[in-house]
Amino acid sequence: MIFESEIRTGIEDVGKNGLITDKAILKMLENVGGYQSDEIGYGVLDIPTNGVSWVILEWKVKVIDRPRYGEKLLVRTWGRNPRKAYTFRDYEIYNSSHKLCVIATTKWALINMKTRKVEKITDDIVAKYKMEDRCVFEDRTIERIKIPTEFTNSTEYQIRRCNIDINGHLHNTYYMDLAEEALPEKVYQTRPFDNIRISYKNEVKLGDIVECKYSYQNNKHIIVIQNKETEILNAIVEL
């Protein structure tokens, strides 16, 4: 089942030259996927009843024609290729001229909010979403990001209350903020980026101090985010 929602870009969604930011794109995609789950009965307001919440594991986004401020956008999304422990969700964004401007694929898991462990995605849940068999990318999987062995830039950040979401951890779109803070100034000024990959490994909680380390390899900007004290890997961002 393909779910659609119309969104208009606002002031908070755009950066320089009035173009939509990378973080705003992630936010739009996440929200529309959430709206579909709301209708099915596995949305944010259903967490107390179901005891589970969808958590994103991977992002892969390609911007074809970046939307501008004030544009009316059509966001389309659908679930695909469900497994017992995870499933995929794809997206398309069409601009006001009905031109495809963004494609994305994501990987999600269903988390038990009491045990914080992965729940099985049952046949009943799959049936509710009426999964499609179409992927926006030629590669139906999401390739791994290679972790660099050397870094040229780094920054630290302590997680604050304003960063914590309904699941009790750092909200996934804030990882873009952390990644951008680690970029060298010249790279930072080249924003936005048309290809985005984020792989989440371990959750970040309130009060954690994370170290964001930057490396440039194979024409890609890679940021590794890890807990400063424990050195546990939290996420990898590739731009």
Q: Is 148 part of a structural domain of the chain?
A: no
Q: Per-residue pLDDT for 132 more than 90?
A: yes
Q: Is 223 part of a structural domain of the chain?
A: yes
Tally of structural domains, the chain? 2
Q: Is 77 part of a structural domain of the chain?
A: yes
State pLDDT tens for residues 171-215: 999 999 999 999 999 999 999 999 999 999 999 999 999 999 999
What's the CATH code of the domain at 87?
A: 3.10.129.10
Q: Is 167 part of a structural domain of the chain?
A: yes
Average pLDDT of the chain is 94
The residue range of the domain holding 25 is 3-129
Query: Mean per-residue pLDDT for 66-74?
Result: 95
What are the start-end ranges of the H helices in the chain?
22-40, 47-50, 123-129, 174-182, 185-188
Residue 52 and residue 164 in one domain = no
Residue 114 and residue 158 in one domain = no
Q: Per-residue pLDDT for 220 more than 90?
A: yes
Residue 8 and residue 116 in one domain = yes
Instruction: For residues 213 and 226, give the distance between their C-alpha atoms in angstroms, rounded to a whole number.
Output: 8
Residue 46 and residue 123 in one domain = yes
Q: Is 163 part of a structural domain of the chain?
A: yes
Which residues, other chains included, contact 64 with Cβ-Cβ below 8 Å and sequence gap of 6+?
100, 101, 102, 103, 194
Q: What is the pTM of this model?
A: 0.94
Residue 63 and residue 164 in one domain = no
Q: What is the pLDDT of residue 141?
A: 87
Instruction: For residues 124 and 14, give the distance between their C-alpha atoms in angstroms, rounded to a whole number.
Output: 39
